[in-house]
Each structure stands twice: as C-alpha cells, then as structure tokens.
Copies of this chain bind each other. A is one copy, B any other.
Amino acid sequence: MTPRATTSTEGRELILTRIIDAPRDKVFRAWTEPELLKQWFAPLPWTTSKAETDTRAGGASLIVMRSPEGNEFPSRGVYLEVVQNERLVFTDAFTKDWEPSEKPFMTVILTFEEIEGNTGYTARVRHWTVADREAHEKMGFHAGWALCAEQLAEVVAKL
C-alpha cells in the first residue's frame, strides 16, 4: 500500500491531510452516519462496536472501540461546529449538554475541500498541552490516523 496521507506536528497540534477520491458529501456522510462510521473509525484489527452521532452544534457523540481482545473503550464528545459537507468540529472536553468531561484531551477540526470532484481532507487535532500532543503521538497518532484515513477512503469508494 502506498501511503497516501501526510501527517505533521505543529506545537500542540497534529495534522493529517490526504486526498480522498470521492466527493466531499460522501466523506462527510462517513463521518456523521453511524453505520458508515463504524466501518472505518477504528484502525484494524480494532473495530467500532457502537456509534451515536447527534450531529449539530452542542450535540453529543458516543463511539465505542473494541480491541482485538474484546475490550471496549467508549469515547464521548460534543460537536462544536457543523457545516454540512464542509466542516466538522468536535471535542472530548464535554460529554453532553456542556458537561465538562473528566479530562479535556483534544479538539478535532475536520475540513472537506472540493478539489475537482474529489475531497481535500484535513484533520487538525489540537491538544491543550504539548504533553498531551506527545502522548497522542506515542499512542500511535501518525500511523493510526493514516490507516483510518485509508479505511475511510475505502468506505466512501463504495458509496
């Protein structure tokens, strides 16, 4: 597999970009429709056993990832900004109804740019501290998000 995603680091931010060979409304759907999200969100051999997405500013999300050993890891978050087919911003700093989470770790800014019918896909993953950005890198951000972007591209190719 040719690596097609580029990742980089800027201060407290981790960035992934790649071109996805599909129109951006399909990529947006894959990020917001639970049945599609579950097909690509966790880097294989991990899987996504549950996804709930109340895709509006202030709406909550719940995504449960399952390890190869069968352990489940729920992640709760809140959407901060939703611009259909263009932009999606969410954070784990809140669970739902602006309830502060146990630990604000990251805020993700996704942009979907139209490039000749395909999608310029950029994920900016911002952390509150450099230490958290470093921790995210040690958890495997660069390889993991690139793999998930590949899985995402495969899912949207079938839509």
Contacts and interface: CB of A to CB of B under 8 A. Distances in A.
Interface of A: 12, 57-58, 80-81, 89, 91, 93-94, 98-101, 103-104, 107, 109, 126-128
Most B-side CB within 10 Å, residue of A99, A100, A101:
A100
Copies of this chain: 2
Contacts of A101: 128
Contacts of A57: 57-58, 80-81
Nearest to A106: B100
Contact of A80 (B98, B99, B103, B128): B98
Contacts of A99: 126
A84 to B, nearest CB: 15
A80 B109 contact: no
A103 B127 CA distance: 11
A94 B107 contact: yes
Top 8 nearest A-B pairs by Cβ distance? Answer: A100-B128, A104-B104, A57-B57, A100-B126, A93-B93, A58-B81, A98-B107, A89-B98
Given A89-B98, A99-B126, A80 B104 contact: no
B98 A81 contact: yes
Contacts of A81: 57-58, 98
Given A57-B80, A81-B98, A98-B126, 10 more contacts: A12-B100, A89-B98, A91-B98, A93-B93, A93-B104, A94-B107, A98-B109, A100-B104, A103-B128, A104-B104
